Amino acid sequence: MPDLEPIGRDAFLQRIADGLPFDEAEKLDILREIAAHLADSTARLEADGLPLDAAERTALDRLGPPDRLAVELTRARRTPRRLLAAAGAGTWAAVSGVVYGYLFGVLILVVVSIGTAALAASAVHMFGGSWGSLLDNTAITLLALGVGVYVAGLKVTSVVAARAGYHIRAARRVTTALGGALIGGYALVGWSGTLHWPDVAILLSLPAWFGVGAWRSTAAAFPSRRWHLQILGLMLVVVPLGLVLGAGQQPHSSGSGGLHPAGVERMGLPTPEAVAAAQVGGGGGSFGGTDTIGTVIRDPAVLAGWRDLRAEAWRGTGAVGIDPSLLALDPAARGPFAVGPAGFETPGQIPPWTWSTGEALPDGLVRLSGSVRIDRSPSATLAWVAITGVGPDGRRYIISGPSFDSTAFNGTAWDWFAAIIEGR
């Protein structure tokens, strides 16, 4: 559509600049060429006898509407090669953006966490009480990753737009969809480790961090001072909030020592006297999310006729390590949340937690042990583990244990949801 109002040379060039989706250097190159053309054209028209104003006006008219010229110049410069270059530059922008944003995020988070923790410790010292944090190392890392992903969204969109020759509003639809899908996939099945619900929440929000970054992307230079202040402000809210929400979290704890949690009868009948008498010692431990429990038996014949020996992990409740009388099996647990195999070890195996000297078991003694993964239940923070078996009378008995261990879910966000759906 032709311009209704005549505009001057500078406004004409500005309208072209506004319509070009390229980076500043490329825009400048194009504008210099058009400006030189206008100068030549005006000079020629003046030489032909037109006054300066009319000559300039005519020179502008001969180039047509600036908006249309910008559109046609953009189309002319948009080639498949540019798209390829945009993909490469976009990948680099994503990587560098994540690294920059992550490092900046870690720095800010650590500083704010230390400050908040100091304030909280002072408050506890002055007013009493206790506090803990939901923002463990995983959450801190994931929050920093969120900042990194946000920066990647900012950078990728502007870089891809400029290199491919598309306006940011068009490019961000592509970068948001593509980047969001990639990051979403990574958040679901790529990240694996110890997860609490805040970690899963942060993981699942990562595509949104990227999307917000892509949507806020501009052609302006990055990073800006304003951006740094925004991130600092965001973390000043998020970190104290996480610390407050996490008040009451418990540290790692484990033990046994003949404790009998309330509800232990649901695990099985008490150990038969003959079986208990044959046991000369036992123990267990947890490593890498697997809890192992064992007992050394003087006369294996005492378990003749027993079947379905297994290690069971039941969800527990209670303030671990504070008041043993509060320890209990979760009243809502109708069965073990995890089960593992149990059996007699072959002679010569040395369970390090049973005989600290590392010597082989004395003749005639055998060890019954079982192991079970206790880090696959999102809702279990305390696991009671025991070896159970079905006796000759067809009823299930506790053979060894139970002992408790604090635990946390370990896996991917996908595993987390699968466990919830399966009721673990």
Partner 1 sequence: MGRSQLLKGTTTLLVLAVLREGELYGYEIAARIRERSGAFIDPGEGWLYPALHRLEAAGALEASWRESGIGPRRRYYRLTRTGSRMLDAEASEWESFARSVRLIAGGPANA
Question: With CB under 8 A, what is the number of residues at the site for partner 1?
Answer: 27
245: its two tokens: 């929400």
Alpha helices per DSSP H over 78-196: 80-127, 137-164, 168-185
Phi, psi torsion values for 267, nearest 5 degrees: -75, -30
Choose between 41 and 250: whose C-beta lies nearer to partner 1.
41
The helix or strand, by DSSP H or E, that contains position 199, with its residue range, turns out to be helix 197-215
Among 6, 18, 24, 44, binds partner 1 (CB under 8 A): 44
**Residue 37 found at the interface with partner 1 (CB under 8 A):** yes
**C-alpha span between 283 and 296 (Å, rounded):** 9
Choose between 37 and 228: whose C-beta lies nearer to partner 1.
37
**Residue 6 found at the interface with partner 1 (CB under 8 A):** no
What are the angstrom distances between the C-alpha of 55 and each of 3, 42, 285? 18, 5, 91
Interhelix angle 413-421/197-215, nearest 10 degrees: 130
**Residue 39 found at the interface with partner 1 (CB under 8 A):** yes
Among 9, 17, 23, 41, binds partner 1 (CB under 8 A): 41
**Residue 45 found at the interface with partner 1 (CB under 8 A):** no
Query: For residue 37, which of 56, 14, 54, 18 has the smallest C-alpha distance?
Result: 56
**Side chain identity at residue 17, one-letter code:** A
Name the DSSP letter for residue 353: T
Question: How do 254-255 and 396-406 pair as beta strands?
Answer: antiparallel
106: its two tokens: 């870690």
**C-alpha span between 327 and 316 (Å, rounded):** 7
Choose between 61 and 422: whose C-beta lies nearer to partner 1.
61
**Residue 24 found at the interface with partner 1 (CB under 8 A):** no
Alpha-carbon dihedral sign for residues 28, 31, 37, 42: negative
**Residue 75 found at the interface with partner 1 (CB under 8 A):** yes
**Residue 54 found at the interface with partner 1 (CB under 8 A):** no
**Residue 62 found at the interface with partner 1 (CB under 8 A):** yes
Region from 64-72, 194-202, 208-216, 407-415 binding partner 1, contact rule CB under 8 A? 64-72
Region from 67-75, 128-136, 350-358, 396-404 binding partner 1, contact rule CB under 8 A? 67-75
Region from 55-63, 182-190, 267-275, 343-351 binding partner 1, contact rule CB under 8 A? 55-63
**Residue 216 found at the interface with partner 1 (CB under 8 A):** no
Among 28, 43, 107, 123, binds partner 1 (CB under 8 A): 43
Choose between 71 and 328: whose C-beta lies nearer to partner 1.
71
**Residue 53 found at the interface with partner 1 (CB under 8 A):** no
Burial class (CB in 10 A: 0-12, 13-18, 19+), 305: exposed
**Residue 1 found at the interface with partner 1 (CB under 8 A):** no
Residues near partner 1 (CB under 8 A): 29-30, 32-37, 39-41, 43-44, 61-65, 68-69, 72-73, 75-77, 79, 81
